[in-house]
Amino acid sequence: MIRTLPLFALPFLALHAVATPALAQEEVTPGSVVAAAAPGEWREIAPDDLLVMQLAPDATGEPRRVVIQLMPAPFSQPWVENIRTLARAHWWDGTSIYRVVDNWVAQWGGGEGEQFTPPALPAGVTSPLVDYVTPAPEEENLQAGRFGLIDSYAEAVDFRDGLPIAQSGDWQWPTHCYGSVGVARDLAPDTGTGAELYAVIGHAPRQLDRIIAVVGRVVEGIQYLSVLPRGTAEAGVYATREEDTPILSVRLASDMADAPRFEYLDTDSESFARYVHIRANRSDSFYSAPAGGVDICNVTVPTRPIAPDEAS
Amino acid sequence: MIRTLPLFALPFLALHAVATPALAQEEVTPGSVVAAAAPGEWREIAPDDLLVMQLAPDATGEPRRVVIQLMPAPFSQPWVENIRTLARAHWWDGTSIYRVVDNWVAQWGGGEGEQFTPPALPAGVTSPLVDYVTPAPEEENLQAGRFGLIDSYAEAVDFRDGLPIAQSGDWQWPTHCYGSVGVARDLAPDTGTGAELYAVIGHAPRQLDRIIAVVGRVVEGIQYLSVLPRGTAEAGVYATREEDTPILSVRLASDMADAPRFEYLDTDSESFARYVHIRANRSDSFYSAPAGGVDICNVTVPTRPIAPDEAS
């Protein structure tokens, strides 16, 4: 049974020893719910919402590709549009990952210190002067919290178009979870362009919600960021540029001849509702005491590549 | 200002660019609250509660030491006692870290599959037949939730003797957070001895609470576990034993001539209460919108080494 689980289900595997008996075939797990989802319950991520970052190969020559789903409307759109402009200008090519802090973030792109000499920004890329929160449409207000998730930071949490969001009062905002990508900025709130980005590689730093623009999440290759050596200079920046991880290229999938394609489990689907329920109430053999609840960042939206033969 | 923050405060640093203006001196941050704590508000971890794991040096020859605070009474004590017995028997020396799963765990010690040949367990080390929850003393019931933290998994959460705990009804249990160490086991609840352990290297897997024994947390060196390559075989085990990270030794600090010493900020102290409050309500320049809440696993209990000259 375990051997047939798709790769993204690995984190749900129990912590049992390796040679233990297989789970009974009829047991329901998050992985089995996702595997049973109907083809029509999956949504392809638009190629214009898919950012492909190619890092230099690792020490053993293994290629490292990080794929990011950009935030759909209405959240963080001015920064997302900047990111598309920067990718089309090949602005990140030749920049690097220069800061990695354990249980916090890996950060790349343009820095402002004297040790960095980022290229000039393309025309039109400036720091947006907009809020980090979005008015909740009246009909969305009704949906927020439909799964009954209890949150430590907001009045309600839910998923919208495949991404976790929070709501308090009449405002919604995207949440910082493991793998979330955000716009690094200076002390003033209007100083981030999107040229400098970070990915969360630790426990959800939800205190960053509403003060930084979340612009997407890593859907493939987060492990290439999370295993990077931690920086030893101020604020976790690498002490020397030789420690940086070079970025070979960053492209929108819509600009690539051989672009990867990805799809996520529709967060309005019946299978997704079952998935959230079983994440909160594990009933398979290992889970002798179902939790009875789950936090939003512990409900990773299932995402998978679309195989090339399906794409043809 | 930033340069004077102690190393453990790094994760609290804002995501601003490196050359930004320093924070105003008077600003209150989690780091400044901890730095201002009185010496009497710190508690030394008993040497019998400190487990020192020495890994083989990394590829550059850097030594890797992981220090674990063992869970104080009343939680998980049969397993903790097994762990002391195993350490005194030098049982882990020559074993390895053989499983690493991204956003999940790094696991080491004795495995049960055919690829492992763990040494025989010392006399007296068996799988305890006890519950994973502990009756809450009446007076503790009153304290649980004294910080008003909202939790997605339990009725109340709080800290007890330096460690995060949860409570529902009349039961308490230790929580799984980043850096927590637990006892791997088989499908049956009474199959873990403590010989096989894991550390959490991702978002808090709170669904494991009450179904696995939490026996402590990493207080130094978690980054040596979190950066390890992810395993590619079943369940994240390394495909070959050559990929394992060898464990040179595991000792109780009480059995070492040159033992490290650590102290944590007393979780009943005034400074700790201030620290929790400021974690939930960041008011320094970067935080234009304080969260107004925080989840228990985002409140890492401040811990620091006791300098050798203080120890003499």
Task: Sort out which chain A residues have CB atoms less than 8 A from B207's CB and list them.
Answer: 279, 282, 287, 291, 294, 298
Report yes or no: A244 at the B interface, CB cutoff 8 Å: no
CA distances from B264 to A39, A247, B39, B251, B301 (A): 52, 40, 11, 20, 7
Over residues A128-133, mean pLDDT: 87
Judging by beta carbons within 10 Å of its beta carbon (0-12, 13-18, 19+), is residue A150 exposed, middle or buried? middle
Q: What is the ipTM of this complex?
A: 0.90
Which pair of tokens denotes residue A89? 């200008």
Q: What is the pLDDT of residue B308?
A: 79
> Which residue has better confidence, A238 or B15?
A238
DSSP A24: P
Q: What is the pLDDT of residue A24?
A: 52
Which pair of tokens denotes residue B288? 């234009």
C-alpha span between B165 and B213 (Å, rounded): 13
Residue B72's nearest CA partner among B41, B50, B98 is B50
A134-173 pLDDT per residue, tens: 998 877 776 667 899 999 999 999 999 999 999 999 999 9
Band the pLDDT of A284: cuts 50, 70, 90.
confident
In contact, B254 and B51? CB cutoff 8 Å: no
Q: What is the pLDDT of residue B111?
A: 59
Q: What is the pLDDT of residue B307?
A: 87
Segments in chain B below pLDDT 70:
1-25, 111-116, 142-144, 309-312
C-alpha span between B77 and B75 (Å, rounded): 6
* Global pTM value: 0.91
Residue with tokens 């799963």: B101
Q: What is the pLDDT of residue A283?
A: 87
Judging by beta carbons within 10 Å of its beta carbon (0-12, 13-18, 19+), is residue B40 exposed, middle or buried? exposed
Q: What is the pLDDT of residue A25?
A: 58
- Count CB pairs under 8 A between chains A and B: 234
CA distances from A242 to A115, B26, B255 (A): 12, 36, 41
Q: What is the pLDDT of residue A307?
A: 87
Residue A86 has pLDDT above 70, yes or no: yes
Q: What is the pLDDT of residue B195?
A: 94
Beta carbons within 8 Å of B190's beta carbon, 6+ residues apart: B127, B128, B129
In contact, B28 and B229? CB cutoff 8 Å: no
C-alpha span between A225 and A97 (Å, rounded): 9
Residue A192's nearest CA partner among A126, A133, A132, A105 is A126
**Of the partner residues A10, A189, A202, the one whose CB lies closest to the CB of residue B235:** A10
The reply to whether residue B207 touches residue A101, judged by beta carbons under 8 angstroms, is: no
CA distances from A204 to A201, B69, B101 (A): 8, 23, 17
C-alpha span between A118 and A112 (Å, rounded): 8
| A:67-86 residues touching chain B, CB 8 A cutoff | none
Residue with tokens 């005034």: B270
C-alpha span between B79 and A251 (Å, rounded): 51
Q: What is the pLDDT of residue A310?
A: 59
Q: What is the pLDDT of residue A93?
A: 94
Mean pLDDT computed over every residue of chain A: 88
C-alpha span between A298 and A179 (Å, rounded): 12
Q: What is the pLDDT of residue A142?
A: 65
Q: What is the pLDDT of residue A145?
A: 78
- CA B98 from centre of chain: 19
The reply to whether residue B206 touches residue A298, judged by beta carbons under 8 angstroms, is: yes
A80: left (phi over 0), alpha (psi -120 to 50) or beta: alpha
Q: What is the pLDDT of residue B20?
A: 39
Pairing of strands B171-174, B134-135: antiparallel
Residue B194's nearest CA partner among B216, B222, B167, B210 is B216
Task: Sort out which chain A residues have CB atoms less than 8 A from B152's CB and list them.
Answer: 149-152, 293-296, 298
CA atoms within 13 A on the CB side of B258: 1
Nearest 5°: the CA angle A85, A86, A92 is 160
A163-199 pLDDT per residue, tens: 999 999 999 999 999 999 999 998 888 889 999 999 9
B181-208 pLDDT per residue, tens: 999 998 888 889 999 999 999 999 999 9
Residue A8 has pLDDT above 50, yes or no: no
Helix extents (H) in A36-127: 77-88
Amino acid in the structure at residue A239: A
Residue with tokens 């600009």: A255
Q: What is the pLDDT of residue B113?
A: 52
